[in-house]
A and B are shown apart, each in its own frame.
Chain A
Amino acid sequence: KAGVTQTPRYLIKTRGQQVTLSCSPISGHRSVSWYQQTPGQGLQFLFEYFSETQRNKGNFPGRFSGRQFSNSRSEMNVSTLELGDSALYLCASSLRTAITEAFFGQGTRLTVV
């Protein structure tokens, strides 16, 4: 059974640009959550998507957005990049029928210069 796949693994962007990250969940998992991991703030919840709808949102500015497709694949977008957006972005997939563990991908390492 394939795990959670995130692409790309590494990205370097310039301040002011925008970026799109992709996440393919485990087959059969319909919930996708995104997290930002930085040395200063640790792991922080960004948002969760289920059935193509955003269900929960963390405390991040509107520059951070996402979407989910009918095949459960998800993308997150960050517009007008700032240096502080440099982080490891992790995607997690899970079943939503019960409170179960989330399975994480290896993440996308974004560096903003």
Chain B
Amino acid sequence: AQKVTQAQTEISVVEKEDVTLDCVYETRDTTYYLFWYKQPPSGELVFLIRRNSFDEQNEISGRYSWNFQKSTSSFNFTITASQVVDSAVYFCALTIRSSARQLTFGSGTQLTVLP
């Protein structure tokens, strides 16, 4: 069975601070896919990034960056120069090839960015 752990339940930062959201996953499959989603108060889950288990290249997209490390089973997400609009719940999720549409989600991290 798959498991995703987001140990940080809530994080508060002041605008313009950098913030890192942690994600640790467990799976016995060698081929798996990791995702980050953002859920604003409207409820819709907004896709942010997808990573394959065979692609450990880290990525930067604007103010967002992701650090994928198979050795520690972690897939962390960093927001640089946070803004009030970044306030939301962020979910890390995992799926494996054999059940590709069945996402296992972490419990989410509530990020509040204060002005």
Contacts and interface: CB of A to CB of B under 8 A. Distances in A.
Contacts of B101: 31, 33, 48, 50, 55-56, 92, 94, 96, 102
Contact of B47 (A31, A102, A107): A102
B50 A100 contact: yes
Interface residues on B, range: 20 to 34
Contacts of A44: 105
A100 B93 CA distance: 13
A48 B42 CA distance: 23
Contact of B97 (A35, A58, A99, A106): A99
B43 A101 contact: no
Contact of B91 (A43, A96, A106): A43
A89 to B, nearest CB: 10
Interface in B43-61: 43-47, 50, 52
A103 interface: yes
Interface of A is mostly: strand
Interface residues of A, number: 27
B65 interface: no
A58 B46 CA distance: 22
A2 B46 CA distance: 14
B8 interface: no
Contacts of A107: 43-44
Interface of B: 33, 35, 37, 42-47, 50, 52, 91, 93, 95, 97, 99-108
The 4 A-B residue pairs whose C-beta atoms are closest, nearest first, are A104-B45, A43-B105, A48-B101, A106-B44
Given A56-B99, A103-B47, 7 more contacts: A31-B101, A44-B105, A50-B101, A90-B43, A96-B101, A100-B50, A107-B43
16 contacts: A31-B101, A35-B103, A42-B107, A43-B91, A43-B93, A48-B102, A55-B101, A92-B101, A96-B100, A96-B101, A99-B50, A99-B95, A101-B35, A103-B47, A106-B42, A109-B43
